[in-house]
Amino acid sequence: MYLTLTDIVLLTSIIQSLSLAVFLLLPSNSGLISNRLLVATLVFFAAGLGEIFLYGSGLALQYPNFAYLGTLIGLLQAGTLYLYAQSLMYQNFQLRGKHLVHTLLFWVVGAIFLIEYYLQPSETKVQILLERDHPGVLTSPLLAVAIHAVFLGYLYATIRAIINPAS
């Protein structure tokens, strides 16, 4: 397999994210809820980069069952980053069942990917991958815009909470 400079940079970024996550899991660091949320965010970020690497290196075509997993896992990143900011701002922050709402995007898009990709035969999966110009883009541009709008909404909510934590 031939690796391009882009592939090497992606692999380096993935390794750095995962290394930081491992460092944050050391016993002296792992007790804080904020560190655990940051670990989750870093792992989800690395998964998204992994998707780009699989697609760019051609490995997604060789292993089509692994295609789009990085995209799906990466969808959890915005919610965990928001919760990470919350955990830093509030001393008594605890994860509760109500925080599962931040996984909603993952479950909705996961259901779409399950129907439109993962339940398809391998030949169809390879054909779908060959027809796509960008990794992680499975269906309509409308779905891509909706996913990006949710990410921007989380970014806005996080920044707003940091600027005005009382509301």
Say what the pTM is. 0.87
More confidently predicted of 30 and 121: 121
pLDDT for residue 62: 92
**What's the maximum distance between 2 C-alpha atoms anywhere in the chain?**
53
CA distances from 42 to 3, 7, 81, 166 (A): 24, 19, 9, 27
* Nearest of 50, 44, 41 to residue 11 by alpha carbon: 50
Residue 149 has pLDDT above 80, yes or no: yes
pLDDT for residue 138: 62
Amino acid sitting at position 2:
Y
What does the alpha-carbon distance between residue 8 and residue 78 come to, in Å, rounded to a whole number? 25
CB 117 within 8 A of CB 125: yes
Which alpha helices (H) appear in the chain, and where do they start and end?
5-24, 33-57, 59-62, 69-74, 77-89, 104-113, 122-131, 141-163
What does the alpha-carbon distance between residue 66 and residue 89 come to, in Å, rounded to a whole number? 37
Tokens of 14: 């993935």
pLDDT for residue 76: 96
Across the chain, mean pLDDT equals 90
pLDDT for residue 165: 76
